[in-house]
């Protein structure tokens, strides 16, 4: 086992773990909506609790990385993240569920920043592009988690049994890889909170524009298919799985695409693909066109966040931990803040109108792509 724990495999495993746990949660959101009889705006408020936890954790995690090292923070937050997932289906009421979602979002967000910090260290150690591959492992994990949700629904498995079985299995298979001999760099200084400034603000906005689409697919794809297209709960669970599989496929080829076209042209092309996917999914009117649109969105968004994180990790003026945290504050804030906003817009208009906002953000990626060029 020790021979298998190379740095690349170790980072891949923790990305897989993080994505799988998020996919498990995302696949069963309709079950929570039904169990607590939640309206769309109430579900949006609950998702806002998840978003708030993550956004608060991003800058704190960046400061901890510089003080304690990315590897140590990754290990601690992974264990807390698993505990939060296992607690979600045990929540007896909406207020308790809101509190657990706050913790789930905080641990997910903190681990996200920490593991990306570790990934940047390994990428520099290997001296070749690997960030897209690591993010492919996150997407693979999310797809596997969503696929497990489909099987759980088909088998009539309650969320509590599903979460405990899936969470335990993922932890046993992946977390041992995190216990590897690795020295993470520590700066030991700087503020605890790392907020974006200067050019990193626009880099973070690019990541936000992609992450809001990822978050919408995680939290609203199943709801959209079930409510707008009247498919079964099992079919609805396939939406995020298709999206995630497309992301995995593109991210596995993403490092080569970036090497061939460069970060700016890559971002422009795939931002346009994401916008086309949004329109296809929302306006298509059928289950199969919706799935095709989700696939295009997965392809389009796949390389954007890795590009933003690579740009941040190589910023000439800010330490890697604080730079990654600052971009994540905007970037993955979009993944978790966007879905509740979509819920509020959907309650005021319709879910279709709310999801069409994603096309505008995808086109914003095209407009800001030049900011991904490293100075």
Helices 131-154 & 94-126 angle (0-180, nearest 10): 150
Average pLDDT over residues 140-151: 86
Tell me: pLDDT of 185 over 70: no
Q: What are phi and psi of 188, to 5 degrees?
A: 70, 5
User: Are the C-beta atoms of residues 127 and 80 closer than 8 Å to each other?
Assistant: no
Average pLDDT over residues 230-259: 85
Structure-token pair, residue 362: 């995808």
Tell me: pLDDT of 349 over 80: yes
The segment with the largest mean pLDDT, out of 62-76, 239-253, 290-304, is 290-304
Tell me: pLDDT of 161 over 70: yes
Fold annotation for 2-178+193-372: Growth Hormone; Chain: A; (1.20.1250)
What gap in Å lies between CA 89 and CA 78, rounded to an integer? Answer: 19
Instruction: Quickly tell me which residue has 């891949």 as its tokens.
Output: 12
User: What pLDDT band is residue 50 in, cutting at 50, 70 and 90?
Assistant: confident
Structure-token pair, residue 75: 């290990």
Tell me: pLDDT of 259 over 70: yes
Tell me: pLDDT of 314 over 60: yes
The pLDDT score that the predictor gives to residue 74 is 93
User: What pLDDT band is residue 275 in, cutting at 50, 70 and 90?
Assistant: very high
The pLDDT score that the predictor gives to residue 215 is 83
The pLDDT score that the predictor gives to residue 196 is 63
> Residue 120 carries which DSSP code?
H
Structure-token pair, residue 237: 């669970």
Stated as kind and residue range, the H or E segment containing 51 is helix 40-68
User: Are the C-beta atoms of residues 229 and 290 closer than 8 Å to each other?
Assistant: yes
Cβ neighbors of 126 (< 8 A, separation 6 or more) are 7, 8
The pLDDT score that the predictor gives to residue 368 is 95
Least confident of 40-49, 128-137, 328-337: 328-337
What pTM value is reported for the model? Answer: 0.77
Cβ neighbors of 211 (< 8 A, separation 6 or more) are 305, 331, 332, 333, 334, 335, 338
Average pLDDT over residues 121-145: 84
Tell me: pLDDT of 5 over 80: no
User: What pLDDT band is residue 180 in, cutting at 50, 70 and 90?
Assistant: confident
What gap in Å lies between CA 90 and CA 99, rounded to an integer? Answer: 12
Q: Give the number of C-alpha atoms closer than 13 A to the C-alpha of residue 10, restricted to the C-beta side.
A: 24
């Amino acid at each position: 086992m020790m021979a298998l724990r190379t740095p690349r495999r170790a980072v891949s495993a923790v990305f897989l773990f993080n994505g799988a746990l998020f996919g498990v949660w995302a696949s069963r959101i309709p079950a929570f909506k039904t169990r607590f009889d939640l309206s769309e705006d109430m579900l949006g408020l609950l998702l806002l609790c998840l978003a708030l936890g993550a956004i608060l954790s991003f800058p704190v995690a960046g400061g901890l990385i510089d003080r304690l090292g990315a590897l140590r923070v990754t290990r601690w937050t992974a264990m807390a993240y698993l505990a939060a997932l296992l607690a979600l289906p045990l929540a007896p009421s909406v207020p308790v569920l809101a509190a657990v979602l706050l913790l789930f979002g905080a641990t997910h967000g903190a681990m996200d920043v920490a593991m990306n910090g570790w990934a940047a260290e390994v990428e520099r150690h290997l001296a070749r592009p690997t960030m897209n591959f690591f993010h492919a492992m996150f997407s693979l994990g999310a797809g596997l988690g969503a696929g497990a949700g489909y099987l759980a629904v088909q088998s009539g498995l309650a969320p509590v049994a599903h979460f405990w079985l899936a969470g335990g299995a993922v932890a046993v298979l992946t977390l041992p890889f995190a216990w590897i001999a690795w020295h993470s760099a520590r700066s030991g200084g700087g503020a605890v909170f790392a907020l974006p400034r200067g050019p990193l603000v626009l880099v973070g906005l690019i990541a936000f524009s992609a992450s809001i689409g990822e978050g919408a697919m995680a939290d609203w794809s199943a709801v959209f298919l079930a409510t707008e297209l009247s498919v079964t709960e099992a079919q609805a669970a396939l939406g995020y799985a298709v999206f995630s599989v497309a992301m995995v496929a593109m991210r596995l080829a993403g490092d080569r695409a970036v090497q061939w076209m460069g970060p700016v042209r890559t971002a422009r092309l795939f931002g346009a693909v994401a916008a086309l996917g949004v329109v296809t999914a929302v306006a298509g009117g059928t289950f199969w066109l919706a799935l095709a649109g989700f696939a295009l969105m997965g392809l389009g968004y796949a390389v954007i966040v890795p590009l933003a994180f690579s740009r941040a990790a190589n910023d000439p003026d800010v330490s890697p931990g604080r730079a990654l945290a600052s971009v994540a504050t905007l970037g993955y804030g979009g993944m978790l803040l966007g879905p509740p906003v979509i819920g509020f817009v959907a309650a005021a208009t319709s879910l279709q109108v709310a999801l069409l906002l994603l096309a505008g953000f995808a086109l914003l990626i095209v407009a800001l792509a030049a900011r991904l060029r490293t100075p």
